[in-house]
Homo-oligomer: A and B are copies of this chain.
Amino acid sequence: MLIVQKFGGTSVGDLDRISEVADRVCRAKKNGNDIIVVVSAMSGETNKLIEYAEHFSKTPSAKEMDMLLSSGERVTSALLALALEARGHDSISMSGRKAGIYTDDIHANARISNIDTANLKKSLKEGKIVVVAGFQGVNSFGDVSTLGRGGSDLSAVAIAGAMGADLCEIYTDVDGVYTTDPRVERRAKKIDKISYDEMLEFASLGAKVLQNRSVEMAKKLNVNLVTRSSFNENEGTLITKEENIMEEPIVSGIALDKNQARVTLRDVKDEPGIAANVFSTLAEKNINVDMIIQNVGQDGTANLGFTVPENELGIAKKIMQELNAAADLEFDSNVVKVSIVGVGMRSHSGVASRAFTTLADNNINIEMISTSEIKISMIVDEKYGELAVRSLHEAYNLHQRDEL
């Protein structure tokens, strides 16, 4: 098998951790696999470099930041290659450039445009373990570019896709994806397999295991993605095509997103352009609007509701007041979003009604509802967030979920 293994910042947080990673990589190699490792900067390094840069400039150029920040991953890649050599394995570190990762010309948030696998293939053929500095590529000017948040995951997934790897393992400090946050519901169970789409809903709902960009790329390139812990030997969660999952449960898990604030505009005149005006103005100011609900009343006025991240409520408030779009404005930051995710919903009726009944039984008022094919999201009072998660987890029997 060809396996791409990606180790994040905490997994290579210090020299001892790098040694443990080296041991793990060696085991995978000894099992007869070809291995490409992708590494992040040692935890703390990137922040240190950012602080250094901020010493000189509050608005450092993205190009120079890329030169600066890309060095952290280079260091880790060389150190891991040395650790592998010391364990008797022929190994080679590669910068993003050497690994053939080409990007567009947007510094700090570059997109991978293509991967030239020649050097990777050559080194694998020579029996080497290849260690690639993640988070970076090279642009059309020949300058180093970085891939933005979760960039090393992207490097790994893109390489796995381009190389047709059998598996792309993303190692972090958590065991995988859970049916819900174990700190909220300690009976939460690790999910063994989940579809790309479900994972995308989970990630956007606040599960911090993987950035959506990586999952989207894995889906596009058909990469079998595993998220697992580098701190133990537990099997992780496989994120794969729906077809690869034999028996989908109706509901995969419950997500809780506390970083929500609700804005309600009452008595908005129901005429074209008002909602468009509201949301285009918010977009201009880079406010991330999440759920949007509009109800039209019989008197020709409407109630318009939407949610924004809690820390953006202040700006959203100011914009709404300036727009004067409605007679009655209401802002509430004491809300959370509880979401039920599962591809099985598509073919099973009654999933939503069970959620509503469950919350009603617990006297939890639902302030907003929005649904997609594989997700139901509900805004509830902050103080009921955990209770909502636990009761829904119970209602869908997630703690009794069979191993698939």
Q: Does A143 contact B (CB under 8 A)?
A: yes
Contacts of A142 in B (CB 8 A): 98
B-side contacts of A68, CB under 8 Å: 74-75, 78-79, 82
Main secondary structure of the interface of A (DSSP, over half): helix
Interface centre among A18, A57, A65, A98 (most CB of B within 10 A): A57
**Which B residues lie within 8 Å of A57 (CB)?**
82-83, 85-86
Interface size range on A against B = 35 or more
Q: CB of A81 within 8 A of chain B? A: yes
- Bitwise interface map of A from 346 to 382 toward B, beta carbon under 8 Å scored 1, else 0: 0000000000000000000000000000000000000
A315 to chain B, nearest CB (A): 27
Give CA–CA (A85, B92) in the complex, Å: 36
Provide the residues of chain B in CB contact with A74, threshold 8 Å.
Answer: 67-68, 70-71, 74
Contact with B along A204-235 (1 / 0, CB 8 A): 00000000000000000000000000000000
CA distance A81 to B19 in the complex (A): 35
Copies in the complex: 2
Which chain B positions have C-beta within 8 A of A203? Answer: none
- A56 partner, pick from B60, B63, B79, B143, beta carbons under 8 A: B79
Taking CB atoms, residues of chain B closer than 8 Å to A98 are: 142-143
Residues of A within 8 A of B (CB): 15, 18-19, 22, 49, 52-53, 55-57, 60-61, 63-65, 67-68, 70-72, 74-75, 77-79, 81-83, 85-86, 91-93, 95, 98, 142-144
Say whether B71 contacts A75, CB under 8 Å: yes
CA distance A85 to B60 in the complex (A): 8
**A68-B79, A71-B75, A142-B98 known; A56 and B93 CB under 8 Å?**
no
**Across the A-B interface, the 7 shortest Cβ-Cβ residue pairs:** A68-B78, A67-B78, A57-B86, A71-B71, A56-B83, A56-B82, A15-B55
Query: Are the C-beta atoms of B82 and A19 separated by less than 8 Å?
Result: no
8 additional A-B pairs beyond A53-B78, A71-B71, beta carbons within 8 Å, are: A15-B52, A22-B56, A49-B75, A57-B82, A60-B85, A63-B92, A74-B74, A98-B143
Contact B86 A64 (CB under 8 A): no
Q: Determine how close the nearest CB of chain B comes to the CB of A45; give it in whole angstroms.
A: 10
Pick 25 A–B contacts, CB within 8 A, sort by A: A15-B52, A15-B56, A19-B55, A49-B75, A52-B75, A52-B79, A53-B78, A53-B79, A53-B82, A56-B83, A57-B82, A57-B83, A57-B85, A60-B85, A64-B82, A64-B92, A64-B93, A65-B78, A65-B82, A67-B78, A67-B93, A68-B78, A70-B74, A71-B71, A98-B142
